[in-house]
Chains A and B, each alone.
Chain A
């Protein structure tokens, strides 16, 4: 395996090389009291010395006493909106005396070039892989999504500081890119941030030819990108091993699908519904939730017609509305639908779990509902199955 070393100067050279290639480089950034995504022009744009504290319904940024750039867990939002925006125009048409004139939106409009994402965690990489399967892997692919994903350059990062809400270890998606058992989106480079007696550096695994070429370009620009030595590889392995040990939560996945299917009438759903706000936050921060609403809108004159697609959520009453009313009228039914789809029927539908263990639905639930605790309650309840069907 081709593994090299980048210092922070080397990382800057990598960012420069990506920008020279025309990539719009995005990476973690501190925004409104949380880690989000922002443009990365310089290494100084990255959240140096920031960590986080996460619990159910609780997130706080914390100052660290070291210069680490990636020493926090999953941020407020995953990479999902980069490729699957919360709102997009599918098509427009103008209506006049001569007829209807469709004007397909220019997919390049507003885009700053192909995207290079720096610092994608392995949980989020797995989530992008799931979205690729859901949105591209079926009979009719999502053209706009395909266009946005095309040519994306990915610099993945080993998660070194999982939060108390993290359980990627249980889902086989992390903490190290490429080392999980679940399928994940491809990446070009994967780095592990190391800070020890040999200094602050990034141990970079070159996963694609393109990734190697970009590093070569950084070298030609004057950066030192030496091959990693055995002590570097050991240090990187150690970061990943310690992260795996630091996972704050666990989800017992054995027989999970069967458990969920057997639990349809469990009283656990009634109990969680007393706390669930049906606010939809979990679905809006979930990196794999893909439900949308398609809305036709007209302007005042009726001459301009537009079809929009916006993120939707199975927690709203209108989501399951059909003639006569909502199929899932109660919060109990909606929470059950969400969890059962995510952890069970997703497997039947797409051949994989819909959960990557990033813990966002736990952290960002204003009511502090914990998916892992609800699954444990279902297990304790024995699947809710009484005698008979």
Chain B
């Protein structure tokens, strides 16, 4: 029998929720441990098996100079590097700093800001090193994680669709909350993966899985306004866990109060690229 592939789980700026999804696999953890050697996973065990690792799961975004250094080390010891969750794939909720002045936050929040070493932007892992696959979600979906690991083990492409949440919503037989109830929902612009959880409980989608493969955020924003949302609310729904993803970032920018013309000249060329 060949040696089991070695799995490492790394954490950057994040809440640990995606790593917990791995621990929450419960019934599948034993068979998983039979197929794969959990070599580095501080959330679960202090035992460390030396690298290199066959598969690294990376949670969290890059927010400090230390992170910047460490992600390159992680890449160097990983044959395959898979990022998990909204932080690692788009910068996470902490990417809200990208729209503001971090120096100002620092001075307001910390008694001794001089002890703090932080970057002025929260960025996804793929902005710094080559990433082999990105698993979306805040948090990631347990079934998708198992599918990803099964695919890694057999050397096949994981079945992770990039279409909208609406496809999963209809597949499970839910009634559209936007059409039948007038509830604002990001499902049409959000990637599937959660199983359309919120609409199944009559809530609109919050966009946890980030933009779908062809997101028409401008039309979505028109619909949200038609359902009664103000500009400030439209800005906020696009500026949550995946605020740093390019389509959501650009859409939220369009709904900013107009008194910030200094940002406009830089932004416009990028906007045109995507919408043309």
Contacts and interface: CB of A to CB of B under 8 A. Distances in A.
A81 B172 CA distance: 11
A179 interface: no
Contacts of A31: 175
Contact of B147 (A279, A297, A301): A297
Given A86-B171, A274-B219, A367-B219, A300 B150 contact: yes
Contacts of A277: 164, 188-189, 216, 219-220, 223
Contacts of A371: none
Interface string A274-315: 111111110011000000000111111110000000110101
Majority secondary structure, A binding face = loop
Contact of B170 (A32, A285, A300): A285
B162 A318 contact: yes
B245 to A, nearest CB: 16
Interface stretch (B26-34, B49-57, B233-241, B253-261): B26-34
Interface string B147-179: 101110110100101111011001111111011
Contact of A316 (B150, B163, B187, B222): B163
Contact of B163 (A33, A280, A298): A280
A297 B153 CA distance: 12
B180 A76 contact: yes
B213 interface: yes
Interface in A75-96: 76-77, 81, 86-87
A366 B223 contact: yes
Interface string B173-197: 1111011110001011100000000
B218 to A, nearest CB: 8
Interface in B125-156: 146-147, 149-151, 153-154, 156
B171 A310 contact: yes
A313 B167 contact: yes
Nearest to A35: B175
A318 B213 contact: yes
Contact of B153 (A58, A300, A313): A300
Contacts of A297: 147, 150, 159
B270 interface: no
Interface residues of A, number: 48
Contact of A58 (B179, B202, B216): B179
Interface string A58-78: 111000000000000000110
Find the residue from B32, B35, B149, B219 having the highest chain A CB count within 10 A.
B219
Interface in B9-46: 28, 31-32, 34-35
Find the residue from A32, A57, A313, A318 having the highest chain B CB count within 10 A.
A32
B190 to A, nearest CB: 9
A36 interface: yes
Nearest to A33: B180
A331 interface: yes
B170 A281 contact: yes
Given A279-B188, A316-B167, A298 B154 contact: yes
A317 interface: yes
A281 B176 contact: yes
Contact of B213 (A316, A365, A368): A316
A251 interface: no
A363 interface: yes
Contact of B175 (A32, A81, A331): A32
5 contacts: A57-B179, A57-B223, A86-B170, A280-B163, A302-B154
Interface of B: 28, 31-32, 34-35, 146-147, 149-151, 153-154, 156, 159, 161-164, 166-167, 170-176, 178-181, 185, 187-189, 202, 212-216, 218-220, 222-223
Given A279-B167, A318-B213, 14 more contacts: A33-B180, A59-B176, A275-B222, A281-B170, A297-B150, A298-B150, A300-B31, A302-B150, A302-B154, A310-B171, A316-B161, A316-B163, A317-B163, A364-B176
